């Protein structure tokens, strides 16, 4: 294995770990707001690492640019959609979980 392959391997695995953490957060966290934290942050980082790992295997610079473009679009989408879901939840009177509450 070349150094590039090893680096790509590590980046891809790191990405998968973040996706896994995001899913665990989704399952464990107590309300929609905390779950949004988990998904918006961990999954985006996961996608970022997967993108970087694949970038090292990209067959051409054009494909590499396309990967970066996809990632930036996904980032923008998550940021806006995450904010809108949280905002709508609050408008609809969903009360945030407090640390004394039962899960």
Partner 1 sequence: MNTLLPILAVFLLGNLLVALLRVARGPTPADRLLAALLFGTTGVAILLLLAFATASAALLDAALVFALLAAISGAAFAQRAWREEQAEAAHDDD
Partner 2 sequence: MKLSVAAVRAFLWRSALLAALWWALTDGRADSWGVGSVSILAAVSLSLRLLPPVPTTVSRIGLLRFAVFFFVQSLRGGIQVAWLALRPRFSLRPAIHEIPLRLPEGIGRVLLANTLSLLPGTLSVGLEGRRLCLHVLDAAAPTEVEVRRAETRVAHMLGLKLEET
Per CB under 8 A, 55 contacts partner 2: no
Q: What is the DSSP letter of 101?
A: S
- Tokens at 39, concatenated: 């998904």
Of these partners, partner 1, partner 2, none, which one is at the site of residue 16 (CB under 5 to 8 Å by kind)? partner 1
CB atoms within 10 A of CB 76: 10
Decide if residue 44 touches partner 2 (CB under 8 A): yes
Interacting residue ranges for partner 1, rule: CB under 8 A: 9, 12-13, 15-16, 19-20, 22-23, 26-27, 32, 35-36, 39-40, 43-44, 46-47, 50-51, 54, 57, 59, 63, 66-67, 69-71, 73-74, 76-89, 92, 94
In angstroms, rounded to a whole number, what is the distance separating the alpha carbons of residues 32 and 48? 24
Distance CA 22, CA 42 (A): 5
């Amino acid at each position: 294995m070349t150094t590039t392959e090893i680096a790509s391997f590590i980046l891809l695995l790191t990405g998968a770990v973040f996706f896994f953490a995001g899913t665990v957060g989704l399952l464990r966290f107590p309300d929609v707001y905390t779950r949004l934290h988990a998904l918006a942050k961990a999954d985006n980082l996961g996608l970022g690492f997967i993108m970087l790992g694949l970038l090292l295997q990209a067959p051409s610079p054009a494909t590499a640019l396309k990967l970066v473009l996809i990632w930036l679009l996904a980032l923008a989408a998550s940021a806006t959609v995450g904010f809108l879901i949280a905002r709508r939840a609050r408008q609809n009177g969903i009360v945030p979980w407090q640390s004394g509450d039962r899960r």
